[in-house]
Amino acid sequence: MESRWVSADSLRAGFASAMSAMYQQEVPQYGTLLKLVSQVNAEVLAQNPALKQQLERDNELSRLSVERHGAIRVGTAAELAMLRQVFAIMGMYPVGYYDLSQAGVPVHSTAFRPLDDDALNANPFRLFTSLLRLELIDDPSLQQQAAEILAARDIFTPRCRELVSLHQQQGGLTEQQAEEFIPQVLETFRWHQQTTVDQGTYQALLDQHRLIADVVCFPGCHINHLTPRTLDIDRVQALMPDAGITPKAIIEGPPRREVPILLRQTSFKALDEAVRFRDAQQGTHTARFGEIEQRGIALTAKGRELYDRLLQESETGTDNRVHQQKLGDIFQAFPDDAKTLRVQQLAWFTFRLSEKGRALPEQIAAQQNIETLLDAGLISATPMIYEDFLPVSAAGIFQSNLGSETKARSQGHSSKAEFEKALGAAVQDEIALYAQRQKASLARCGVTQMR
Ligand code: OOG
Ligand code: NI
């Protein structure tokens, strides 16, 4: 029977596209970046028919053009907990814990994203969501003042709150309610020129940390960037200046590889935007920027350890070409072919039955060895895309948009338990999610015990 409720996948797709339309209006450079990315993606697909075929076969091509992530920052536990309920309606759940305080950014974060294969293929939209850690403001009276300013605002519209309650009572939203829900949710992420504070307060918070002013001084939690997914980040980075966009110096994350791993990212610098203070003073605020990403295969815990170790060995340079060269040399130690990644259990794959495999289930039942089954053409394997974020890269992105005056805050300590308390729920472990999906894909092929 067809449900009378609009599906979470369709709500998420509607929300992602509404966010993109709003951000294109607010930050025209984002629209330019989107065009550049889709042009480069089309070129890559035209030059690489095998890749195109693989993406088509795995249902991944359709998600590429709608694929993006965004980032927001909230000020209080109550805001974060309410966001969790809003995002759950759209099939986005908190995955992973990121502690940015080590890198001098007074926040900790999670990513709200879809969890299973079908939802990810339908629309993988994710939001990197950070909670400000007011306890890291070292002036107690300013800390108190910031808490009061935050307590006085409601970043959700009354109708948004009503529709969330309605969803909880009914178990879903009708078509008509869904049409209302998306624009209501959008209001939370809209940019406001008008701040909630006078210029003096803004300046005092800014002097503590740029990010604190960004979170505390506005009536909502404006989306600070949206990030399309490219198939060739080096090429987009190289073409950005021609399109009138200045990229950040370094592409974050792993180097270019045959089998791309995890996530590579670059961004353009935050814009200076006009704002009005409560005391009618005019000023500017820098927070919103653009970013692109290239996603590769998700790594197992073992693969991730190797990645983290190699990344630590390489220090960050200021010249991208030199940096990528050095990174490439160091990452020679990371196997770069699908078979080794599988056999050494460094990365996750999705397995599928081939025509032949479908005709010969008894051979699979008897065999149960992945490499043998692959060699015999009974099953196929494709890289499972990394759906999450990288704390070191995220810190680099934050910092490039905060200016060089960022102070390191050594007093910051990782506090997943505090974050989960604020969120009102546990965050899911990303590695466990990839493991489950790989196991389920093998089970669908009839491989239940690995040999
Ligand atoms: C989030 C920065 C992190 C990413 O892609 O790693 C991020 C922020 O600036 O709020 O978006
Ligand atoms: Ni980002």
Which atom of ligand 1 approaches the CA of 130 most closely?
10
Residue nearest to atom 6 of ligand 1 (CA): 394
CATH homologous superfamily of domain 8-296+387-414? Uncharacterised protein PF07063, DUF1338 (3.10.180.80)
pLDDT at 413 over 70: no
Phi then psi dihedrals of residue 189, to 5 deg = -105, 5
b or e along 226-237 (b: 16 or more beta carbons within 10 Å of the residue's beta carbon)? bbbbbbbbbbbb
Q: Which of 23, 398, 400 to mutate to test the pocket of ligand 1 (most atoms within 8 A of CB)?
A: 398
Residue from 408, 391, 400 nearest 99 by CA? 391
Q: What are phi and psi of 97, to 5 degrees?
A: -125, 130
* Contact 289 CB / ligand 1 (< 6 Å): no
Residue 128 CA: distances (Å) to CA of 101, 107, 108, 110, 332: 15, 12, 10, 6, 30
Q: Report pLDDT for 406.
A: 47
**Cα distance between residue 259 and residue 153, in whole Å:** 47
Write down the pLDDT at residue 427. Answer: 98
Q: Output the CA 438–ligand 2 centroid distance in Å.
A: 26
Predicted pLDDT at 359 = 95
Top pLDDT among 3 and 240 is at: 240
Tell me, using a 6 A CB cutoff, whether residue 397 lines ligand 1. Answer: yes
Give the CA diameter of the chain: 77
- Establish whether residue 224 lines the binding site of ligand 1, counting it when its CB lies within 6 angstroms of any ligand atom: yes
pLDDT band at residue 411 under the 50/70/90 scheme: low
Which span out of 49-53, 150-154, 405-409 was modeled with the highest average pLDDT? 150-154
The stretch 132-157 carries a mean pLDDT of: 94
Choose the weakest-confidence range: 77-86, 213-222, 307-316, 394-403. 394-403
Q: Is the pLDDT of residue 410 over 70?
A: no
What gap in Å lies between CA 337 and CA 404, rounded to an integer?
39
pLDDT > 60? residue 408: no
Nearest ligand, measured from the Cα of 397: 1
Mutating to test ligand 1, I would choose from 128, 248, 251, 399 the residue with most ligand atoms within 8 A of its C-beta, which is 128
Residue-wise pLDDT tens digits, 417-446? 999 999 999 999 999 999 999 999 999 999
Interval between CA 269 and ligand 1 midpoint (Å):
13
C-alpha pair distances (Å), 150 with each of 133, 143, 171, 221, 276:
12, 11, 31, 11, 18
Return d(Cα 213, Cα 367) in angstroms, integer.
Answer: 61
**Nearest residue CA, atom 9 of ligand 1?**
398
User: What's the pLDDT score for residue 401?
Assistant: 74
Spatial distance between the Cα atoms of 343 and 267, rounded to a whole number of angstroms: 35
Ligand 1 atom at shortest distance from the alpha carbon of 291: 5
Report CA(289)–ligand 2 centroid distance (Å). Answer: 9
Q: Which atom of ligand 1 is nearest the CA belonging to 72?
A: 10
Question: Are 303 and 347 contacting, i.e. CB atoms less than 8 angstroms apart?
Answer: yes
The answer to whether the CB of 64 falls within 8 A of the CB of 55 is yes
Give the per-residue pLDDT at 138: 84
Answer for the pair 218, 276: CB distance below 8 angstroms, yes or no.
no
Where does the pLDDT of residue 397 fall: very low under 50, low under 70, confident under 90, or very high at 90 and above?
confident
Mean pLDDT of 234-259: 92
Residue-wise pLDDT for 48-66, tens only, equals: 999 999 888 887 888 888 8
Flag whether pLDDT at 405 surpasses 60: no
Q: What is the mean pLDDT of residues 366-394?
A: 94
Which residue has better confidence, 395 or 283? 283
Averaged pLDDT for residues 29-38? 93
**154-171: per-residue pLDDT in tens?**
999 999 999 999 999 999
Looking at residue 137, its pLDDT comes to 86
Tens-digit pLDDT profile for residues 91-112 = 999 999 999 988 888 999 999 9
Band of residue 2 on the pLDDT scale cut at 50, 70, 90: low
Q: Is the CB of 400 under 6 A from ligand 1?
A: no
| Ligand approaching nearest to the C-alpha of 395 | 1
- The Cα–Cα gap between 36 and 420 comes to 38
Cβ–ligand 1 distance for 265 under 6 Å, the answer yes
- Ligand 1 pocket check for 189: Cβ under 6 Å: no
Q: How confident is the model at residue 294 (pLDDT cuts 50, 70, 90)?
A: very high
Which residue lies with its CA nearest to atom 1 of ligand 1?
Answer: 71
The pLDDT value given to residue 412: 55
Average pLDDT, rounded, for the chain: 92
